[in-house]
Structure 1
Amino acid sequence: MRNPQPQLACGLVDSERALQAVAVATTARAHRYDVLLLTGEEGPDAVRRVAGSGLADAIILMDVELDDDRLPLLRGTDQPSVLIGLPADTSGLTCVDLAFKATGALCVEHLAMLGHRDIAVIGESPAVYERHTGFAERTLDGLRCRARELGVRVLHRRARSATTRWAVTLARILDERPGTSRPVVQNEQAVEPLLALLHRQGHAVPEDVSVVAVCPEQVAVQASMRLTSVSIPAQEMGRHAEERLVAKLEGCGTDDVVLIAPEWTVRTSTGSTPPAAS
């Protein structure tokens, strides 16, 4: 039998995951479940506390790393669980995620089709890569693999949080590869500072520079320029995860991996490569 007020535990890491948490909570309420939110900083201790205390009937894990140290605890408990994210080893797990490797490949294909052969990738913060967070690693892998196939050069730089550091990052890219002026941005906080820096330096978008973003839809359409982008379907991911968790609680769920196909939208921030100066 269900508890009178059944609970689901959901790890919440940062504001970028807020939409996922809202979708989880909304879907859970439709099935008469409450949601207990935990911070990502608590790590394995949070999973251990929830799994061993009866605080929650099931667990949704977010911000998943490739070798996530919370997974042995999940595999060692009988509590139903679903991951929003994809670890390196998915055996015995139910995972929901955007197909981030395909997302990276799409970005390269679009720019290559427009004639661009040098691409700069402005990625997440160094801490995201140091933790080997799945979405960042897989996007970069997809970018690099497709770039090799298409003969496109990729320069990857990690984005930092301060505007002055973004300026330094952009300057380094232009110094190292003067012909590289086609950024792929996978850090929504870097979008507006990047557009502002390009404007101050006299680079017109998309006449001189094409910009592609991997970001939530509202970021792409509300930026100072409407961005060509791959949308991160945070709410869809949260809804899928919650539905699979409820199915497990009702005894009809299975362990599987659900990868949501990336949705590509071309807007005004990308164009053909500028003609060579005569």
Structure 2
Amino acid sequence: MITIKEVARHAGVSMSTVSYVLSGKRSISEETKRRVEQSIVALGYHPNAGARALASNRSQVLGLVVPLRSDQNMPVIMQFVSSIVASARGYDYDVLLLTKEAGPGEAHRVTARSMADAVIMMDVESADPRVPELRAVDAPVVLIGMPDDHEGLSCVDLDFTTAGRQMAAHLADRGHRSIALIGSHPSVYERGTSYAARLLAGFQGETTRRNLPASVHSCAPGYDSVAACLDEVLHPDRGTTGLVVHNEAILGQLLLELRRRSLDVPGDLSVITLCPDDLARDLPVPLTSIAVPAQELGVIAVEMVMTRLAHDHAPEVRLLQPRLTDRGSTAAL
């Protein structure tokens, strides 16, 4: 491994001069700076994390708080994580993954101890108990999600309220007169997870506005749970003809159970979902869907962090508008 001493020898300068060129802490003549930079390139020198931290008073690390829970769909979570990691590397940052359930104080702990320069937080609740602490953290914090009380916080997310409204409207506009929302694991609602609550609010707001009969059902993964949920959803008294599914983990099981019951999609039952595009496209029956833009949200979250690190930038909230792709799984009645 090439060292700073070898760079200094190659450029004919002191090691402190090389450090000043790297950190920008002192003015160095353009000729000397150019010589040092040429030596860095010629030798293939890469400052290690410790040297960068000492030079800049920064760790070059982002903390990513994403508690891993049994009710989460890990493939979707990992899409967010991989997007954040890849985007951070573009800024020469590493990512410290914090997977334990993080209560108040976690963001302050990792930034105050110089473990991370900034924090990105996922798994945001509507009434998130971390909000007061996050406002007091002396480092940039960005939420992927939006608590009800988000004043003074930087947040980025899909506009789940609009997504719920659009999916209900999509079925209503095709003549469906009784629809159902199959939502996330019951614990997601019990915990007050923000995205689930906002989608539910949008769905119920639209069905109420249209005076459209609609039922709501939470569903745990597993064939028995899915079968029991469908027994409720498809009870003859309901007359359900269209499903909005906000639960990526059960989509494959749901389609298999419908097939077992000899129900055709969309001939007998229309289905629209919210999930990543690749999942909706590659199911046994490709589903009309609103995309979960995990890649885009991860990139924007990192960009927002970097903007706040570089400038005294005011907090902002960015909600991405839903993008609906029709794959033919919803029929007109």
Conserved in 1, the CA contact under 8 Å of 2:62 and 2:120?
Answer: yes
1:47 aligns with 2:47: no
1:191 aligns with 2:191: no
Relative to structure 1, the CA distance from residue 272 to residue 249 in structure 2 (aligned partners, 3 Å threshold; closer, same or farther) is: same
1:83 alignment partner in structure 2 = 143
DSSP 3-state at the match of 1:183: strand
2:86 to 13, 18, 26: 26
2:220 alignment partner in structure 1 = 160
- Of residues 134-143 and 33-42 in structure 1, the stretch that sits farther from structure 2 once superposed is 33-42
- C-alpha deviation, 1:5, in angstroms: 4.5
Question: What is the CA–CA distance in structure 2 between the aligned matches of 1:27 and 1:192, rounded to whole Å?
Answer: 31
1:247 aligns with 2:247: no
Q: Deviations over 1:185-222 (max 9, x none)?
A: 10111111111111111211101100011111111001
- C-alpha deviation, 1:154, in angstroms: 1.5
- C-alpha deviation, 1:2, in angstroms: 3.2
Relative to structure 1, the CA distance from residue 48 to residue 252 in structure 2 (aligned partners, 3 Å threshold; closer, same or farther) is: closer
DSSP 3-state at the match of 2:156: strand
- Of residues 260-269 and 146-155 in structure 1, the stretch that sits farther from structure 2 once superposed is 146-155
Question: What is the CA–CA distance in structure 2 between the aligned matches of 1:115 and 1:93, rounded to whole Å?
Answer: 41
**Structure 2 length as normaliser, TM-score?**
0.79
Q: Between the two proteins, what is the percent identity of the paired residues?
A: 38
Relative to structure 1, the CA distance from residue 176 to residue 13 in structure 2 (aligned partners, 3 Å threshold; closer, same or farther) is: farther
Relative to structure 1, the CA distance from residue 32 to residue 177 in structure 2 (aligned partners, 3 Å threshold; closer, same or farther) is: farther
2:297 alignment partner in structure 1 = 237
Q: Deviations over 1:111-168 (max 9, x none)?
A: 0111001111110001110111110000000001011112211100001122111100
Conserved in 2, the CA contact under 8 Å of 1:125 and 1:158?
Answer: yes
Question: What is the CA–CA distance in structure 2 between the aligned matches of 1:70 and 1:188, rounded to whole Å?
Answer: 27
Q: Which runs of no fewer than 5 residues in structure 2 stay unpaired? A: 1-54, 69-73
2:15 alignment partner in structure 1 = none
2:67 to 4, 7, 13: 13
- C-alpha deviation, 1:44, in angstroms: 3.0
What number of residue pairs does the alignment pair up? Answer: 273
Quick check: which has more Rg, 1 or 2? Answer: 2
Question: What is the CA–CA distance in structure 2 between the aligned matches of 1:176 and 1:138, rounded to whole Å?
Answer: 29
1:137 aligns with 2:191: no
- C-alpha deviation, 1:240, in angstroms: 0.5
Q: RMSD of aligned C-alpha atoms?
A: 1.5
1:92 aligns with 2:152: yes
Conserved in 2, the CA contact under 8 Å of 1:12 and 1:18?
Answer: no
- C-alpha deviation, 1:4, in angstroms: 6.3
2:329 alignment partner in structure 1 = 269
DSSP 3-state at the match of 2:56: coil
Q: Which has the higher contact order (CA 8 A, sep 6+)?
A: 1
1:223 aligns with 2:277: no
Conserved in 2, the CA contact under 8 Å of 1:245 and 1:253?
Answer: no
Conserved in 2, the CA contact under 8 Å of 1:120 and 1:184?
Answer: yes
Q: Which runs of no fewer than 5 residues in structure 1 stay unpaired? A: 274-278
